[in-house]
Structure 1
Amino acid sequence: MTNRVTVLGSLNVDTTLRLARMPQPGETLLTENKTSAAGGKGANQAVAAARSGAQTRFIGKVGNDEAGRFMVESLTDDQVDTSAIITDETVGTGSAFILLDEAGQNSILVYGGANQQVQAAEVAAVEDEIAQADFLITQFETPQAATLKAFTLAKQHGVTTILNPAPAATIDPAILKVTDLVVPNETESASLTGIPVTDVASMDANAKRFLEMGVKSLIITVGSKGAYYATPAGSGFVPAFKVKAVDTTAAGDTFIGALSSQLKPDLSNIETALTYAQRASSLTVQGLGAMPSIPTYAQVQAASQA
């Protein structure tokens, strides 16, 4: 059965600047290369879900500019339903500037633009689209008031909610109470729970703290090591695939989108879905750019059999 995934999130045009190393404060460096591509955490997650076979919809905002038209076109090219993307006349489309060094590590500067203008009332207007989903995913590149409205509506319709609390932020506690699955990396998890992630025992402690805050299920992504999961049925750790990373941009977004395409709404196949998501993410980091490097279902299957 094909999963139906709706993403409420950000749409950014990413400009990547390649450097030998990161600049020091006050230092000027020459870049080795400059490229632009469609991106934004929300858009990346939606494309990852769609390329892995999910029927995907997007809720978000762009400016009335060339960048906005480019973002909508990019999602449409990947068969993402863009009918719930609104054009804002007051601000420009979101953008991100990515500094990428030779080791494949990145630093990212984000201009929120239209992403920051998504209103709770606009989310309420697409309740029917939310109701038809199996999963609703969001991140923190759009306002938390919109997230709370979307998740509240999703729960009323029995839709499984997935929160990617990135970038790390102070979170409205009400959001966690309507979150089924929270997917932070180790830094984001520690910032939300106050418990540093160092080993499995500390991950178990993070899961317990999230449960106290209202979230029954947790996945912590731990970069090249793998991913920890905890659900009411049990917990475990799924190791990552060892590859040479060229560009880690969108690795986490690919993971979440790919996961949502394979996961059952009751999370009963979480280990299988996690393994698939890890494989998809391992392919993303081997390519340059965010969206261009996100693999298809066929590419993930081929890599699994290689």
Structure 2
Amino acid sequence: MSVVVVGSINQDVVARVARIPAPGETLLASSLVRTGGGKGANQAVAARRAGGAEVAFVGAVGTDAAGAALRAALEADGIDVSGVVQVDEVTGTALISVDASGENAIVVAAGANAARDSLTDAQGAVVASASVLLTQLEIPVALVRDAAAARGEGAWHVLNAAPSAPFASARDALLAATDVLIVNEHEALEAAGVEALDDAVAELARTVRGLVVTLGSRGCLVVCGDERTAVPAHVVTPVDTTGAGDTFCGVLAAALAASGRRPDAVGLDLLADAARAGAAASALAVTRPGAQDAVPTSDEVAAFRKENRP
């Protein structure tokens, strides 16, 4: 299997509002949509649909109707869901407000995503088949560490340290098991425990083979050892930024898998090229509503890159 994603799967409940409500304020939404989400599932869809990789997803859903529907949707996208287990919890749910400019505010109830802190034997076998293992932190840190330990020799571990709050408790162990770390500015500062971005980049780059710091509309910074380069963003008019970072991560992981190179062969050229592919896919995704629904196809990404320079 080229890319195995171990992570969260949620039902997203998305309300469109004129603006993000202030504390104590009630707003009327113009629409309400239920759709597939969760950082892990979003990244799996991106790696498969936009990145063109063979993908398996490892996670947990509840025994409710939402869990069955979300699992079926991944399978319909061509994703191997043999590593998705059912647990006696509600399926994870994200409550999302999206304003008129496309910005969002999200509250996540982890549910089934937090029910396990280790892989089953069957899930471990799926992870061991990966060329690239992709994880995030919407699941227990212990489960991320277990997945990293289960990957085969020569397999990549790409960690998207988001949300950043759980990272501090196991920072050293997680970084020691990570080849490529992807963080945004806020997550970089929290992960490094410093207040200046340059200091955070220097600190994190010393501990992983490759570092990608996403900078929103300013693109991203790619660092390998003492080398670094800026990858500019494509200029688009955003409709909904939900899942944009997940699309970036999934496509980057797919590009690493397609390279056929091992983690010890990572270089600035490879990682920057993977980041450029991720940046194009995420730019296209923000022009559409939703998370998984907004992920473009690989053909759409190729056409977009041909016609739109960052």
For Structure 1 versus Structure 2, the TM-score category normalised by the shorter chain is: over 0.9
1:262 corresponds in structure 2 to 255
Q: Counterparts of 1:45 and 1:178 in 2: how far apart (Å)? A: 20
Q: 1:34 and 1:190, CA in 2 relative to 1: closer, same or farther beyond 3 A?
A: same
Residue 245 (str. 1) matches residue 246 (str. 2)? no
CA contact (8 A) 2:285 2:296 kept: yes
2:84 corresponds in structure 1 to 85
Equivalent residue runs for 1:14-33 within 5 Å: 14-33=12-31
**SS in structure 1 opposite 2:134?**
strand
2:299 corresponds in structure 1 to 298
- Using the size of structure 1 for normalisation, the TM-score is 0.92
Identity of aligned residues (%): 37
Q: Unpaired segments of 5 or more residues in structure 1?
A: none
- How far apart are residue 125 of structure 1 and its match? 4.2
- How far apart are residue 210 of structure 1 and its match? 1.6
- How far apart are residue 267 of structure 1 and its match? 3.2
- How far apart are residue 235 of structure 1 and its match? 1.1
Q: Unpaired segments of 5 or more residues in structure 2?
A: none
Q: Counterparts of 1:170 and 1:49 in 2: how far apart (Å)? A: 24
Q: Deviations over 1:272-301 (max 9, x none)?
A: 221111100000000001111101110001
Equivalent residue runs for 1:84-163 within 5 Å: 84-88=83-87, 90-122=88-120, 124-154=121-151, 157-163=153-159
Residue 164 (str. 1) matches residue 160 (str. 2)? yes
**SS in structure 1 opposite 2:245?**
helix
Equivalent residue runs for 1:214-253 within 5 Å: 214-232=207-225, 234-253=227-246
Moved more, 257-266 or 241-250: 257-266
Q: 1:232 and 1:95, CA in 2 relative to 1: closer, same or farther beyond 3 A?
A: same
Q: Counterparts of 1:125 and 1:208 in 2: how far apart (Å)? A: 39
CA contact (8 A) 1:186 1:197 kept: no
Paired letter, 2:79:
V
- Using the size of structure 2 for normalisation, the TM-score is 0.91
- How far apart are residue 133 of structure 1 and its match? 1.0
1:60 corresponds in structure 2 to 59
- How far apart are residue 208 of structure 1 and its match? 2.6
Q: Counterparts of 2:7 and 2:238 in 1: how far apart (Å)? A: 26
Residue 174 (str. 1) matches residue 173 (str. 2)? yes
1:209 corresponds in structure 2 to 203
1:286 corresponds in structure 2 to 287
**SS in structure 1 opposite 2:75?**
helix
Q: Counterparts of 1:120 and 1:294 in 2: how far apart (Å)? A: 29
- How far apart are residue 26 of structure 1 and its match? 1.4
CA RMSD of aligned residues (A): 1.5
Residue 74 (str. 1) matches residue 70 (str. 2)? no
Paired letter, 2:42:
N
Q: Counterparts of 2:200 and 2:75 in 1: how far apart (Å)? A: 38
Q: Counterparts of 2:226 and 2:202 in 1: how far apart (Å)? A: 14
1:188 corresponds in structure 2 to 187
- How far apart are residue 206 of structure 1 and its match? 2.3
